[in-house]
Amino acid sequence: MNSYETRIGMAKKKMEEAEYILLGGGAGLSAAAGITYSGKRFTDHFGPFIEKYGFSDLYTSSFYPFETEEEKWAYWAKHITLNRYELGATKLYIDLFQLVKDKSYFVISTNVESQFVKAGFPSDKVFEIQGDYSYLQCEKGCHDTLYDNELWVKEMIANTTDCKIPSKLVPTCPVCGGEMDVNLRKNQYFVQDEKWAESDKLYKNFLQESEGKKVVYLELGVGFNTPGIIRYPFERMTYHNENATLIRLNREHPEGFEETEGRTIAFTEDMQQVVSAFMQ
């Protein structure tokens, strides 16, 4: 690997020359922005839940099979509030917007906290492909409408006692009468509404338009949870386009595709530090 300064210089040059920049955001990006799913941020906010269920972090706890809807929603109201409603735009996301805002760019992200939009990215440039904390859906996906949950969640929080919400606040599907869920892709019932389909179309248009052009794929903290969404496609598109460059920011898994070695620039350094250096 070249020296840090050399890599920064190469990456900056590629971004300056780029006709298109595609940002890919994964969990490592939000973690670097301070939206961590474990440690103090988790223990400070989930004391009673940790005591009751033995939760160790916000990621694994989100798969917990709660026995009752009253318990499930007490947990989720807290989870959604912390990551979606109490949190403003973080510096790292704001910096990324400043970095690309005058370019032709698009964002695809597996993150679900709406940080890109909060940081200034127009919503028609952002595809949050795995869902959005702000919405509820039918648990069985019986229809494809999403429901804004902000007021609901506030009321749940205000009325939570002993890690439970009152039964009257438990949301039910207005169509089938069944249970509701957060709009996150975790099983085959994930609802993709009209807005999702529109974002998918805009993303595909961007890929088509930028094909064969000078493209920078700027991959931010994308690991191996769902590598088929960002990581592998970014590698493949770089491989198939000799004018493309992959800039990979990843503390743990910087390794890439050998065939594109000359066109992949990897950083394992602190993400905020690297993005700040790109901006200078």
Closest separation between CB of residue 111 and Zn ion, Å? 26
Element holding 133 (H helix, E strand): strand 131-138
Of 188 and 280, nearer to Zn ion (C-beta) is 188
* Cβ nearer to Zn ion, comparing 21 with 138: 138
Helix (H) or strand (E) holding 116: helix 115-118
Contact code string over 174-213 relative to Zn ion, x by CB under 5 A: -xx-x-----------------------------------
* Matching residue, tokens 């069944």: 178
Question: Residue from 58, 119, 165, 173 that binds Zn ion (CB under 5 A)?
Answer: 173
Smallest separation, CB 166 to Zn ion (Å): 22
Q: How far is the CB of 266 from Zn ion (least distance, A)?
A: 45
Two tokens, residue 271: 């993400």
Angle at 56 between CA 50 and CA 60, to 5 degrees: 110
Judged by CB under 5 A, does residue 279 bind Zn ion?
A: no
Touching Zn ion, residues 60-119 (CB under 5 A): none
Instruction: Provide DSSP, 147-170.
Output: EE-HHHHHHHHHT-BTTB--GGG-
**Which residues ranging from 116 to 155 are in contact with Zn ion (CB under 5 A)?**
138, 142
First to last CA, the chain: 22
Report how far residue 226's alpha carbon sits from residue 90's, in angstroms, rounded to the nearest whole number: 24
Q: Which stretch binds Zn ion (CB under 5 A): 27-35, 71-79, 95-103, 167-175?
A: 167-175
Q: Which residues bind Zn ion (CB under 5 A)?
A: 138, 142, 173, 175-176, 178
